[in-house]
Structure 1
Amino acid sequence: MWKLVSFVLLFVISNAYALTPQEMLKRVDEIRAPSETFVFEIKVVYKREENEYIEQRFEVRVKDADKSMVKFTYPPENKGRIFLMLGNNMWIYIPGTREPIRISPQQRLLGQISNGDVARVVYSLDYDARLSGEEKFEKGMECVKLKLMAKTKQATYSRIILWVEKESLKPQKAEFYAISGKLLKTAFYKGYKKVLGKERPLLLEIHDEFRKGEYSIIEYSNMKIVDTPSAFFQKTYLKHIR
């Protein structure tokens, strides 16, 4: 009996480490996003050096993984604004304008948060993963380091270094780099809770590498598997969304 149990455990462990780096990244994505089509809410809090806190909130709808619609819900003066991301192309609709305006995923939204940070949840669509070694993290946690290289120039970052727990492949830490090679910010995945059948990080703490002492927190909530109508992801329909 013990031999059988040992064989099963060895089989499971061997299979886990037979994953390619890109397959590992897809497993990370499955932890962060419950489905290719779902909805959730985001609260972003930006802490500035002088202890000033700025808050924004959004409702996000994702369809087929590569389409997302982000509706601004707070503060009141931002209500009605909408991001639309289709593949690597992104627009913002502002009430009172005739047409959505083309924007970049790399543009800063608030604090350390870029447009792409709220519109895109998964990494495997935009990045190719390579194994970059192993490293101990907090409390001796064994982690695998993945080096993510942007597939196109339109990706939010040119390179990401991602630490994932070796056993579970839960993301723990990420470093985000600009095209110049400079480290822009460091993020920590926290607040793991069971949501829709899986432990998921519901808090992302992001520290600015240029303005020390400044950081932002992204809080994810109300994740639901909902199929949003295709019309919501058409530029011409954005002005009708309430």
Structure 2
Amino acid sequence: MLRRHLLLYAGGLAALGTAWAQPAPDAQKLLAASDLIRNPAQSFVLTVGLTEYRGGKQVDGNTLAIYSRPDERGGAFRTLVRFMAPARDAGKLMLKNGADLWFHDPANKATIRISPEQRLLGQAANGDVATANFAHDYRASLVGEEEVTDGERQPRRAHRLNLAAAASGLTYHRIELWIDAASQQPIKARFFSESDRLLKTAFYRRYQPQLGQLRPTETVIIDGLDPGWVTVMRFGDYAWRDIPEAWLQRDHLPRFRAE
């Protein structure tokens, strides 16, 4: 009888040891899975509304049409952004093609190169609306698993990743990202400058079925120094669309006409 109990005990320890020995999830694969939840892998269009708040009061806003197409050569998105509102900005264009970001103003027919870090509205940078593929631009490492409060103020068990920029010229030098341990949905991110200053915190929330996947339809962005400065990005009107190659060329911007 004693021998049997010892064998059962030893078997239990072995099973427990096997559970403990489970390999940690691959951080880069987790990041890629999270990317596919934020954005489809095929060409698509959507509308983004940006609203800026200061101290709880709305102070600015605009509406954009986004045309995104994955670059078959490298997996990153190429994105054309068309300004729809307010009237003073309607018709302006922004194009992300590889590492280059261009802005076109039809009023003066000028096309200039801009940086991804420049602010578009509130805490939303140019690079935030030009569809980002984190797995292409950053190298992920797993920090650990922990409980985090999501954008709906609910506790979630999450993998915490540290994302280091894989190249120069990216919008952010480093990102901390929390991904739901069960669903791989992005929950929260913190964005840092090259000097490792916290620029902003973002919460991905209001998940809804869009293009065959539950996707966050709202991102709340909070300033790194002033928590009363908030920008809300709302995503809607998702649709599959084959984006013409010509739309994604800088030389075509002065001739662009939305169809």
User: TM-score by structure 2 length?
Assistant: 0.83
CA distance in structure 2 between the partners assigned to 1:185 and 1:51 by the alignment: 19
- Judged with a 3 Å threshold, the aligned counterparts in structure 2 of structure 1 residues 204 and 231 are, in CA distance, closer, same or farther, namely same
The Cα of 1:19 is off from its aligned counterpart by 4.5
Note the C-alpha offset of 1:223: 1.1
Answer yes or no: is 1:42 the counterpart of 2:57: no
In the other structure, the counterpart of 1:192 is 207
Distance 1:140 1:114 in 2: 28
Structure-2 residue corresponding to 1:232: 247
Look up the match of 1:203.
218
Q: Is the 8 A contact 1:62 1:68 kept in 2?
A: yes
CA distance in 2, matches of 1:89, 1:221: 26
Does structure 2 conserve the Cα–Cα contact (< 8 Å) formed by 1:161 and 1:176?
Answer: yes
What secondary structure, in the 3-state scheme, does the structure 2 residue paired with 1:222 have? strand
Q: Of 163, 174, 177, which aligns to 1:162?
A: 177
**Distance in 2, Cα, partners of 1:156 & 1:29:** 16
C-alpha offsets along residues 159-180 of structure 1, whole Å, 9 cap, x if unaligned? 0000010011101100000111
Name 2:156's counterpart in structure 1: 141
User: How far has the Cα of 1:239 moved from its partner?
Assistant: 1.2
1:188-224 deviations in whole A, cap 9, x for unaligned? 1110011122111100001112223110000011111
Structure number with bigger Rg: 2
- Kindly provide the CA deviation profile for residues 58-84 of structure 1, in whole angstroms up to 9, marking residues without a partner as x: 001111242110000000110111000
Match of residue 7 from structure 1: none
Q: 1:141 to 1:19 in 2, by over 3 A?
A: same
Counterpart of 2:108, as a letter, is T
Per the alignment, do residues 17 and 228 of structure 1 end up closer, same or farther by CA in structure 2, a change over 3 Å counting? Answer: farther
Give the gaps of 5 or more residues in structure 1: 1-15
Partner of 1:183: 198
Write the letter of the residue equivalent to 2:212: G
Give, as a single letter, the amino acid of the residue that structure 2 aligns with 1:227: D
1:30-56 CA-to-partner distances (Å, cap 9, x unmatched) read: 101122311111000000237243111
Pairs aligned (count): 227
Aligned to 1:102: 113
Q: Any gaps of 5 or more consecutive residues in structure 2?
A: 1-21, 71-75
Name the CA distance, whole Å, in 2 between partners of 1:32 and 1:163. 13
Cα RMSD (Å):
1.7
Identity %: 34
